[in-house]
């Protein structure tokens, strides 16, 4: 009857999104009067027992070479075995690129109902109802999962990790792991940048910046804030910025605490990728720009004059020279 949480890691370290789902799973277990356990596939350099601080009692690990390739087929088969061994009835994933490749597949293997992109803890007072955002964050749907086994993937940044002082036991699971059905021949990580979907603060630029040569003001602001950088679709299409920075309906969807839009008009397709942000700030010289209707704070004015002043003021407050 327990809750099993799939823990993502990268380069030996547990990801921030995993801390969030650990908290989510522990809270759900408390709600259901059961226990929460974690599941780690592959090798991790961190001490896994410390993950107990997020409220899980046990971490199950399957440490096998083959699992260093994230192959959905192999992962789904292995995770389904682990579900049987641990007797879990709710399995939690992060709705990240990795989670998106595995969670649905696991649900099929287990003949379990799936809600992917959950926005909140399930309501278990009468049935099992999970809230998720739909219509590109323009609405929510409350979805009932009607199967005995349930799979949920949770949107990053929809719950904050809560840290207590528990400790978990570590349990090595022995499972016959097959071999991957895919072969990874190259990995290109963008180093030194904050991954957009994990960032607390995102500074984003649109056509109002006029050209790639003007991005310095934006980068300075992002640096002062420790923010990730993003852009609107035309900016990505024109190759002013790399295409992986394009946010919106057809780009990356983000939900940071703070989203700062510079010279972006706020078209509905742009908003669809950013309107789960907690606070939105808009700098635009056009008072009629639609973005002001969705924003929390804003300045009507020329971004080239305003942004350097923002950067200077933030540096002053943070005591950065």
Ligand X SMILES: Cc1cc2nc3c(=O)[nH]c(=O)nc-3n(C[C@H](O)[C@H](O)[C@H](O)COP(=O)(O)OP(=O)(O)OC[C@H]3O[C@@H](n4cnc5c(N)ncnc54)[C@H](O)[C@@H]3O)c2cc1C
96: left (phi over 0), alpha (psi -120 to 50) or beta: beta
Cα within 13 Å of Cα(305), Cβ side:
6
CB-wise, 177 or 264, nearer to ligand X? 264
- 246 to 46, 114, 242, 251, 273: CA distances (angstroms): 33, 28, 8, 5, 9
Query: Could you tell me the smallest distance in angstroms from the CB atom of residue 318 to ligand X?
Result: 24
- Which residues between 161 and 220 bind ligand X (CB under 6 A)? 206-208
CB-wise, 82 or 283, nearer to ligand X? 283
207: left (phi over 0), alpha (psi -120 to 50) or beta: alpha
Query: Could you tell me the smallest distance in angstroms from the CB atom of residue 180 to another protein?
Result: 9
Counting contacts by CB under 6 A, is residue 270 touching ligand X?
Answer: yes
Among another protein, ligand X, none, what binds residue 223 when CB lies within 5 to 8 Å by partner kind?
Answer: none
Cβ within 8 Å of residue 287, ≥6 positions away: 300
Q: Give the 3-state secondary structure of residue 117.
A: strand
Counting contacts by CB under 6 A, is residue 16 touching ligand X?
Answer: no
Identified binder of ligand X from the candidate list 65, 148, 167, 286, rule CB under 6 A? 286
Among another protein, ligand X, none, what binds residue 264 when CB lies within 5 to 8 Å by partner kind?
Answer: ligand X
Counting contacts by CB under 8 A, is residue 286 touching another protein?
Answer: no
Identified binder of another protein from the candidate list 23, 72, 232, 265, rule CB under 8 A? 72
Cα(183)–Cα(181) distance, rounded to whole angstroms?
Answer: 7
- Which residues between 189 and 248 bind another protein (CB under 8 A)? 189-190, 193, 195, 197-198, 201, 225, 243-244, 246
Q: How many residues does the chain have?
A: 321
Asked if 232 and 268 touch (Cβ cutoff 8 Å), the reply is no
Counting contacts by CB under 8 A, is residue 145 touching another protein?
Answer: yes
Counting contacts by CB under 8 A, is residue 301 touching another protein?
Answer: yes
Counting contacts by CB under 8 A, is residue 184 touching another protein?
Answer: yes
- Which residues between 236 and 255 bind ligand X (CB under 6 A)? 248-251
Query: Could you tell me the smallest distance in angstroms from the CB atom of residue 272 to ligand X?
Result: 7
CB-wise, 68 or 250, nearer to ligand X? 250
- Rounded to 5 degrees, what angle do the CA atoms 229, 235, 238 make? 135
Query: Could you tell me the smallest distance in angstroms from the CB atom of residue 78 to another protein?
Result: 13
Among another protein, ligand X, none, what binds residue 208 when CB lies within 5 to 8 Å by partner kind?
Answer: ligand X
- 79 to 67, 107, 121: CA distances (angstroms): 11, 10, 22
CA dihedral (183, 11, 60, 162) in degrees, to 10, reads -130
Bridge pairing between strands 258-262 and 13-14: unpaired
Counting contacts by CB under 8 A, is residue 13 touching another protein?
Answer: no
- 20 to 25, 86, 94, 155: CA distances (angstroms): 9, 21, 8, 9
Query: Could you tell me the smallest distance in angstroms from the CB atom of residue 117 to ligand X?
Result: 17
Residues that bind ligand X (CB under 6 A): 206-208, 232-235, 248-251, 263-265, 267, 269-270, 273, 283-286, 289, 302-304
């Amino acid at each position: 009857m327990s809750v099993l949480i799939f823990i993502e890691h990268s380069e030996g370290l547990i990801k921030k999104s995993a801390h969030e789902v650990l908290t989510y799973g522990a809270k759900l277990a408390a709600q259901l009067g059961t226990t929460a356990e974690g599941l780690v596939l592959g090798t991790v350099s961190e001490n896994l027992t410390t993950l107990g601080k997020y409220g899980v009692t046990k971490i199950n690990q399957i440490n096998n070479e083959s699992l260093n390739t994230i192959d959905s087929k192999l992962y789904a088969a292995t995770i389904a075995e682990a579900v049987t061994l641990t007797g879990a009835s709710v399995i939690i994933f992060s709705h990240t690129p990795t989670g998106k490749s595995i969670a649905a597949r696991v649900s099929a293997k287990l003949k379990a109902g799936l809600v992917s992109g959950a926005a909140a803890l399930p309501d278990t007072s009468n049935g099992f109802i999970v809230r998720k955002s739909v219509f590109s964050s323009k609405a929510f749907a409350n979805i009932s999962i009607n199967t005995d086994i349930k799979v949920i993937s949770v949107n990053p940044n929809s719950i904050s990790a809560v840290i207590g002082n528990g400790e978990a036991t570590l349990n090595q699971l022995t499972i016959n792991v097959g071999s991957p059905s895919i072969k990874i021949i190259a990995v290109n990580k963008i180093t030194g940048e904050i991954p957009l979907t994990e960032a607390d603060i995102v500074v984003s630029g649109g056509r109002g910046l006029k050209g790639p040569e003007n991005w310095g003001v934006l980068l300075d602001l992002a640096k002062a804030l420790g923010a990730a950088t993003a852009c609107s679709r035309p900016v990505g299409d024109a190759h002013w910025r790399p295409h992986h920075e394009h946010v919106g309906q057809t780009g990356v969807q983000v939900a940071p605490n703070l989203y700062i839009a510079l010279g972006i008009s706020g078209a509905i397709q742009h908003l669809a990728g950013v309107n789960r942000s907690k606070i939105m700030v808009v700098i635009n010289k056009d008072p009629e720009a639609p973005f002001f209707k969705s924003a929390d704070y804003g300045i009507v004015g020329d971004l080239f004059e305003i942004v350097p002043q923002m950067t200077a003021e933030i540096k002053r407050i943070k005591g950065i020279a």
